[in-house]
Amino acid sequence: MSEGLGTKRLWTELDLVCATGVGMEPIAADLCRIVRHLVKADAGAIFWMGDNGLPAGFFHEDSDAAVRDLFANAYEELFIGHCEINVASLIGRTDFDCGHLIAPPTEYWKSNTYNLLVRASGHHHTIDLRIDDGGRPRAVILLFRAARRPAFEATDRDRLRLGLPSLRRALQMPSDTARWTPRGAPAYIVVDADGSSLLFASETASSRLQHGNLVAQGVPQTGRLVSPPAFAAELCRRLSNELRPALRLPVPEGRLHVCAERLERTGAESAVLLTLQHEEPDRITIVRRVLALDISPRQKSIVLAAASGASRTDAAAQTNTSAEALKKHLATIYQATGTRSWSDLSRAFAQT
């Protein structure tokens, strides 16, 4: 495959993944992979912001548990300060949105950010991209190269910025009608009535929270939970007014649906059961199936239109394809997918 064709396919992948309308968190791994290849980086990370202007969660392709634990549980203590150039400082910049870390100031190399996070993960060179929505910073992408690799340059910055329109679309929040499918069995945590003490946590619950990379929730990245995650107290407070309060926490690959209910225990104080269910959006599952097909970028767009329920006429308009060209593309698509008609194609890829 030529570099030009390979690059075109990557841009098409980025457009299709970002247009899924499931939010950025469930597609974080896909986004890291695509933009990493576009700028020929070694690894990538995405951080999404909470309402307090600090990271609420993240996805990192290759950091180990010790590094993730520092970021998740000691962020404000270790990584905020005038020498620290990272997510917290980058989201506050108003001059430009990309490339602050291509040539950082001298003090950066002595900072906790570089030594405890970047270098500890085996990286040296960094390039950054802030993604805003309506004037509000919503996410930051960081890409890394090892010390032996060339530093990022202005050409890398310019190429990365080309992805901004698609990446902004990825911020679109899921609609209430979007379908989410539970993956795996539910996991359980039991806390006291106000959510301040942990009474029980299943191994699955500990693992699920660790893989969620939740910042400032008090979840250790190794071992078992030793105290309730911070959201437990919120759910316990809501029990005074709600029968079964719930919340949804965005995490890499989907979201955690957490609900609370009281447990009345004979001869003991009441406790609260937290049920954690990992959910994944059906839409991204469909898109990944389409991307795995060995067909052209335009043909992938046509298949995705079919999966979305579009008619042949609508699909031709959406993909800027003439009726005659669509007929030729469909011959290839039917062969690649084992389908025989437009309705057959639509059914095959609308199912997950």
Please report which confidence band the pLDDT of residue 50 belongs to, taking 50, 70 and 90 as the band edges.
Answer: confident
Q: What is the pTM of this model?
A: 0.86
Does position 1 have pLDDT exceeding 50, yes or no?
no
Contact by Cβ (8 Å): 91, 131: no
Alpha carbons 15 and 304: distance in angstroms, whole number: 12
Contact by Cβ (8 Å): 190, 273: yes
- Fold classification of 293-350 is Arc Repressor Mutant, subunit A (1.10.10)
Q: Where in the chain is the domain with CATH 1.10.10.10?
A: 293-350
Please tell me what DSSP assigns to residue 127. Answer: E
Mean pLDDT, all residues of the chain: 90
Please tell me what DSSP assigns to residue 173. Answer: P
* Token representation of residue 21: 């309308």
Report, as an integer, the average pLDDT of 268-290: 90
Q: Where in the chain is the domain with CATH 3.30.450.40?
A: 3-169
Does position 3 have pLDDT exceeding 80, yes or no?
no
Q: Which CATH class is domain 3-169?
A: alpha beta
Q: Where in the chain is the domain with CATH 3.30.450.20?
A: 180-281
Alpha carbons 67 and 265: distance in angstroms, whole number: 40
Does position 173 have pLDDT exceeding 80, yes or no?
no
What is the largest distance, in Å, between two alpha-carbon atoms of the chain? 76
* pLDDT at residue 352, rounded to an integer: 52
* pLDDT at residue 297, rounded to an integer: 85
Please tell me what DSSP assigns to residue 292. Answer: T
Rounded (5°) CA angle 284-47-30 = 30
Q: Which CATH class is domain 180-281?
A: alpha beta
Residue pLDDT, tens place only, 199-219: 999 999 999 999 999 999 999
Residue 60 parent element (H or E): strand 55-60
Give the closest residue to 258 by CA, choosing from 225, 212, 193, 227. Answer: 212
More confident residue, 343 or 50: 343
